Amino acid sequence: MVDIHAHLLPFLDDGSSSLEESLEMADMAVSEGITAVIATPHHANGIYDNEASRVREEVASLQKLLELRNIPLKVASGQEIRGFNDLLRDYERGTLLTLADSSYLLLEFPSGQVPAKAKEWIYELGLSGVTVVIAHPERNKELAASPEKLADFIEAGALAQVTSHSLTGGFGRSVQKTALQMCRSRLIHFVASDAHNVKARPFALREAYSLLEKEAGKELADSCRRNSELLLAGEAIPYEEPLLPKKRWSFFSK
C-alpha cells in the first residue's frame, strides 16, 4: 500500500517529534504492508511553515537512515498546504511541493469552512497542470453539511482524500458517517493515514481499507488503493463522476 498523507518527518510540525519516533512510525507502516509514504508536513497553516527545500532535505536524511536500519520503506516529499491568499504566487515561486513530484497537490481547508477562493485555486492550478487533492473533506464542517460543494469541486477537477481514522470511527460517529457517505457517493479518491505518531494517530490504513471494503464495496477500496499507487508513479488518475446528482444531495445527507 501507498500512503499519500502522513506526518512522518521529525521536528517539522505536530507529527513525529524525534528521529526515533519517525523510525518507529516507519516500522509500523512496514508491518501494516505500507511500502511507500509521502511525507506531508503542514505548510502555511498559521503555525507551521515548511517550504519545499526544507522538506526535501528532511526526506533525504530520513530515507538514508531507513536504509541504514534496513527498514524497507520509500519516503517521498510533499506538503499538506493550508489554502492561503498567496497560494498561486507561491506555487509559481517554487516553495510549494506537489505529492512525490507528481502533478497532484494536497490542499487542506480550515476545519470550520471552505475558503472563498477554493474554486479559483482548483481552476488556476488546473491551468498549470496541477490537480488539487482536498485533504479529509469529511472533517470540514461546511463540506460535511453541504457535500454538494465537494461534488462541485470534483466536477471542477479536484480529487479528495479521506483519512483512515475518520473511516474507522476515531473522530466519532458523525465524521465516520460523513466519510462513508462521501465514499459511497464517489466523492473520495484516496484513503490516507494522516498519521502523526505511533499511539494516538497511527496509520490504521489496513483497517480503514477493510472497513471501506465492507461498507462501500471492494471495487471502491481497490480503486482508492490503485489511485495512490498511480499518484506515486506519476501517472494520471482516471476521472470518475460523483455518483449522486447534485440536487439529490440534501435528501441523502439527512
132 CB-near residues (< 8 Å, 6+ apart): 104, 105, 107, 121, 122, 125, 126, 153, 157, 158, 159
| Shorter beta-carbon distance to Fe ion: residue 80 or 148 | 80
User: Does 80 help bind Fe ion (rule: CB under 5 A)?
Assistant: yes
| Shorter beta-carbon distance to Fe ion: residue 107 or 244 | 107
User: Does 3 help bind Fe ion (rule: CB under 5 A)?
Assistant: no
The candidate with the shortest Cα–Cα distance to 85, out of 118, 108, 133, 111, is 118
Q: How many residues bind Fe ion (CB under 5 A)?
A: 2
**Minimum CB distance to Fe ion, residue 160 (Å):** 14
**Minimum CB distance to Fe ion, residue 38 (Å):** 11
| Shorter beta-carbon distance to Fe ion: residue 191 or 244 | 191
- In whole angstroms, what is the distance from residue 97 CA to residue 157 CA? 19
Helix H or strand E segment including 96: none
- In this structure, the strands spanning 36-39 and 74-77 are parallel
| Shorter beta-carbon distance to Fe ion: residue 43 or 149 | 43
CB 164 within 8 A of CB 208: yes
- In whole angstroms, what is the distance from residue 150 CA to residue 45 CA? 21
Residues 182-221, one symbol each (x = binds Fe ion by CB under 5 A, - = not), give ------------x---------------------------
**Minimum CB distance to Fe ion, residue 80 (Å):** 4
Which residues from 28-67 bind Fe ion, rule CB under 5 A? Answer: none
156 CB-near residues (< 8 Å, 6+ apart): 119, 122, 123, 126
**Minimum CB distance to Fe ion, residue 178 (Å):** 17
| Shorter beta-carbon distance to Fe ion: residue 143 or 244 | 143
Give contact residues for Fe ion (rule: CB under 5 A): 80, 194
